[in-house]
Amino acid sequence: MTSGRPAHGRRRPVGPAGDGVTPLRSRVRAWLLPLAVVALTAAGCGAQGDGAASGRVSGELVVFAAASLNDAFDALGDAFGDEYPDVEVVANFAGSQTLASQIAQGAPADVFAAANTTQMDVVAAAGGLSAAPEVFTTNRLEIAVEPGNPLGIDGLADLTDPGVQLVLPAEEVPAGSYARQALEAAGVTVTPSSLERDVRAALAKVELGEADAAVVYASDLVVADGRAEGVPIPPRYNVAAAYPIAVLADAPNPATAAAFVDFVLGDQGREILAAHGFSAP
């Protein structure tokens, strides 16, 4: 404060100029509330694809995909982007049940790829699909164990050993419901340590060394890249997990969404899925 500048130097002088100031203030006020409302609404809506109105394959494409599809759909998104440079694929990966509930709550998504028909049916029942879903790939279960399988886990029956720290995906998670089917088919009753919110969270517990075993998809162990290894589950107990995909009824960018679904179902899509440990439908 040694500069001698008055403390409120930047203030508009009041008094004689007061009459000139008031209209400006009320104009500011008049703008402010709608502005705030617009800001709040925009925050809820997110961006819309350029291709939305035109029907062109371009703009932002929002894909909601099961957690197990994470790496495969990252690669699919990149390949799709190579084919259509005007498209930006944005993916949201989570347990299919989480995605289904987000879609039900109005999340702005174009495509839904689920790990089972149950969660796709949840969205369909609410009128959330623009066309019938198609199965684009299948998966099977394996037991994820630590590298080198130090506990010598050979199959589902070994998971009952109280010395085995087992985690399963929660029952609402598709992988969790498949795991329960497999355990039931094998006549095995287990006491898991934790029920994880998606299949990758269950795998991560094994990769971190916190759990000895988790029931996950064979495709998950392809991406585990040595941090966990797979113990096969015999076909008589195993399940064929069918993954359906569909364009959503409220898709902001339906033309691009339809092109993406075709791409996933096409030869290139199938190739990428196979490279990530998924099987043909």
Partner 1 sequence: MSETAAHTTSRTAAGVAPPRVAVALGIVALALLILPLLGLTLRAPWTRAGELVTDPVVRQALQLSIMSSLAALAISVVLGVPLALVFARFDFPGKPFVRALAILPMVMPPVVGGVGLLAAFGRRGLVGRPLEGLTGITIPFTPAAVVISATFVAMPFLIVTVESGLRMVDRRLEDAAATLGADRWTILRRVVLPSLWPSLAAGMALCWARALGEFGATITFAGNMPGRTQTMPLAVYLELERNPEAAYLLSFALLAVSVAVLVALRERFLTAT
Q: Does 167 bind partner 1 (CB under 8 A)?
A: yes
Q: Is the dihedral of CA 19, 24, 30, 33 positive or negative?
A: negative
Query: Nearest to residue 247, comparing CAs of 140, 84, 115, 120?
Result: 120
Q: List the one residue from 140, 197, 200, 276 that touches partner 1 (CB under 8 A).
A: 197
User: CA angle 139-129-58, nearest 5°?
Assistant: 90
Q: Does 92 bind partner 1 (CB under 8 A)?
A: no
Q: List the one residue from 12, 24, 27, 36 that touches partner 1 (CB under 8 A).
A: 36
d(CA 42, CA 198): 30
d(CA 226, CA 21): 70
Cβ closest to partner 1, residue 100 vs residue 246: 100
Cβ closest to partner 1, residue 98 vs residue 238: 98
- Locate 13 and state its tokens: 């002088």
Helix or strand holding residue 205 (H, E):
helix 199-207
d(CA 161, CA 140): 23
CB of 196 to partner 1, least distance (A): 7
Q: Does 19 bind partner 1 (CB under 8 A)?
A: yes
Q: Does 116 bind partner 1 (CB under 8 A)?
A: no
Q: Does 5 bind partner 1 (CB under 8 A)?
A: no
- Locate 69 and state its tokens: 């599809």
Cβ closest to partner 1, residue 36 vs residue 135: 36
Q: Does 95 bind partner 1 (CB under 8 A)?
A: yes
CB of 194 to partner 1, least distance (A): 3
In terms of phi and psi (left: phi > 0; alpha: psi -120 to 50; beta: otherwise), the region of 23 is alpha
Q: Does 170 bind partner 1 (CB under 8 A)?
A: yes
Using only C-alpha atoms, the chain has a radius of gyration, in whole angstroms, of: 26
CB of 95 to partner 1, least distance (A): 8
Site for partner 1, rule CB under 8 A: 14-16, 18-19, 25, 28-29, 32-33, 36, 40, 95, 97-98, 100-101, 165, 167, 170, 172, 192-197, 205, 208-211
